[in-house]
Amino acid sequence: MSTNDHHGEDIESIGSGSGPGAAAAVTPPALLHRSLHQQPYKVSSAKGIYLTLDSGRVVMDACGGAAVTCLGHGNDEVLQAVTRQMNTGVSYLHSLTYTTEAAEQLARHLIDGPHGGGRFGLEKAYFVNSGSEAMDAALKLARQYFFELGQLDKTRFVARRQSYHGTTIGAMTVGSNLPRKAPYACFQLDTVSWMTPAYAYQYSNWKQGETEEQFAERLVQELDRHLQDIGPEKVIAFIAEPLVGATSGCTPAPHGYFKGVRQVCDKYSILLILDEIMCGMGRTGTLFAFEQEHIVPDIVTIGKGLGGGYSPIAGMLVHKKIIDVLQKGTSSFNHGHTYQAHPVGCAATLAVQKILRRDAMIDNCALRGQFLHSLLLETFQHAKYVGHIRGRGLFWGIEFVKDKATRASFPPAVGFGIRFQSLAFELGVAVYPGSGTVDGSRGDHAILSPPYNVTEDELRKIVHVVKLAYDRLEKDIDDAADESGQNKVETPY
């Protein structure tokens, strides 16, 4: 199934034009953009995997924004679902008093059936408007769970360095994306502590021959010791992304890691909260990323691929054991948002999820992911500055390094990741760049996360273009090194 109406579009016509930020408006915008110096491009229309800018340029959206557009852009069925909901006149209701069929059906769709969360004991869904809100809700629910059990000393959370859990104060507090947190250190609570990232390429003792399984066991033992040191009776939950997204670029945990983490959490009666905002809802080739780890969380947060970008929506799915405690206690969740379970958003999201299930798009995501992985390895395995290619499904990260033999990163001033993104965009393909990959300061990566219905032909075009961009950047880096008299980096084969 194609995601676009541009099958015959050649790369040259797609990529014609200048790069991001080249065209500055004469009149300063009234909208506060992320940058006050560089304005984003205005998109006039979109269909499938293609974005059309107001200049007429066409760009292949190979990252889905931030791994959001699981279904591509401009789906007519979703538009019809939104129109039907709006035609009822019920575009908003306050969830304290009212509910809607759209919200109830969406929750039922995610929980019930052979593909739903109910097979894992996930019993209730809770819908908000962003991943950050979903994480805040998860933190509060986890605390309320122990509060209602009378375990009032449980006030701490444990997470991992090089993680990202959202941008609101609560979500930011348990995350560890250092550049995003730096101005707001004054808001950081002292009830959060962090473990070593489950990031084998940079954090395992690979020079000493540490295997993936040994690295996993070392991290699990580190968590166990840390809980003993601070007192497990004080800890509410351990929080982690099954595959770390924007912070370190589609980084999966080493084999056996999450099984060990689940056992440690059970050992000390600590909840396990998995953040699948970016890596979940089919993105890694199964509905939930945790399925491939053969464990079940107590709370899982979902977003991005949940609604596919057709409406602001995110949420959490909650295990029966937590719901049972609340039912025996206050019988309520002491939390709420004005626009939670928004009727129009739920209608759009339900349409997205029905299409994904009906058309077996998550299976297609897994299949196309295998093809993309092979294509990336074939294209980049001998590239001088490509250190590691990692991911699952249609969620792949490329880590760039200065020296493949030592895995040393480029100095931050080089800006390898953002320069790669800019060159790829000039050639007509949008990728998702990242910096501070290794420790918040050093490291560069880029993410490819196209929609689940991407075709093999589209994947070939994407990889072809990003290789052209990489080749240009490699030459620029080498030319600059020659001019400065530095030694060129040798590539080990």
Domain ranges across the chain: 11-69+361-484, 78-358
Q: What is the pLDDT of residue 26?
A: 66
Q: What is the pLDDT of residue 114?
A: 86
Mean pLDDT across 418-432: 97
C-alpha triplet 386, 392, 393: angle, nearest 5°: 120
Q: What is the pLDDT of residue 492?
A: 39
Q: What is the pLDDT of residue 487?
A: 53
- Residue 480 has a CB neighbour count (10 Å cut-off) of 11
Q: What is the pLDDT of residue 10?
A: 42
pLDDT at 2 over 70: no
CA 37 to chain centre: 27
pLDDT at 24 over 50: no
Q: Of 24-28, 64-68, 251-255, 267-271, which gets the smallest average pLDDT?
A: 24-28
Instruction: Please give the Cα distance from 208 to 198 (Å, whole number).
Output: 17
* Residue 351: band (very low, low, confident or very high) from pLDDT cuts 50, 70, 90: very high
Q: What is the pLDDT of residue 3?
A: 41
pLDDT at 323 over 60: yes
pLDDT at 314 over 50: yes
Structural contact between residues 328 and 145, judged by C-beta atoms closer than 8 angstroms: no
CA 455 to chain centre: 22
pLDDT at 14 over 50: no
Instruction: Decide which of 393 and 27 is more confident.
Output: 393
Q: What is the pLDDT of residue 97?
A: 95
Q: What is the percentage of the chain residues whose pLDDT exceeds 90?
A: 87
Closest among 379, 365, 399 to 460, alpha carbons compared: 379
Q: Of 174-178, 192-196, 210-214, 362-366, which gets the smallest average pLDDT?
A: 174-178
- Residue 245 has a CB neighbour count (10 Å cut-off) of 28
Give the fold, CATH level 3, of 11-69+361-484: Aspartate Aminotransferase, domain 1 (3.90.1150)
* Residue 486: band (very low, low, confident or very high) from pLDDT cuts 50, 70, 90: low
Mean pLDDT across 92-121: 95
DSSP 3-state of 268: coil
Beta bridge partners of 275: 301
Residues 131, 135, 138, 144, CA torsion sign: negative
Q: What is the pLDDT of residue 483?
A: 80
Instruction: Please give the Cα distance from 379 to 381 (Å, whole number).
Output: 6
Q: What is the pLDDT of residue 9?
A: 40
Q: Where are the beta strands (DSSP E) in 330-392?
A: 386-392
Mean pLDDT across 24-44: 85
Q: What is the percentage of the chain residues whose pLDDT exceeds 70?
A: 93
Q: What is the pLDDT of residue 182?
A: 86
Judge if pTM exceeds 0.85.
yes
Mean pLDDT across 186-211: 95
Mean pLDDT across 280-285: 98
Element (H, E) at 201: helix 200-203
Q: How many residues are present in the chain?
A: 493
Phi, psi (deg, nearest 5) at residue 261: -65, -45
Mean pLDDT across 468-472: 98
pLDDT digits (tens, 9 = 90+) for 385-418: 999 999 999 999 999 999 999 999 999 999 999 9
Closest among 430, 421, 426, 486 to 462, alpha carbons compared: 430
Instruction: Please give the Cα distance from 82 to 478 (Å, whole number).
Output: 52
Mean pLDDT of the chain: 93
* Ramachandran quadrant class, 139 (left: phi over 0; alpha: psi -120 to 50; beta: rest): alpha
Give the fold, CATH level 3, of 78-358: Aspartate Aminotransferase; domain 2 (3.40.640)
pLDDT digits (tens, 9 = 90+) for 410-423: 999 999 999 999 99
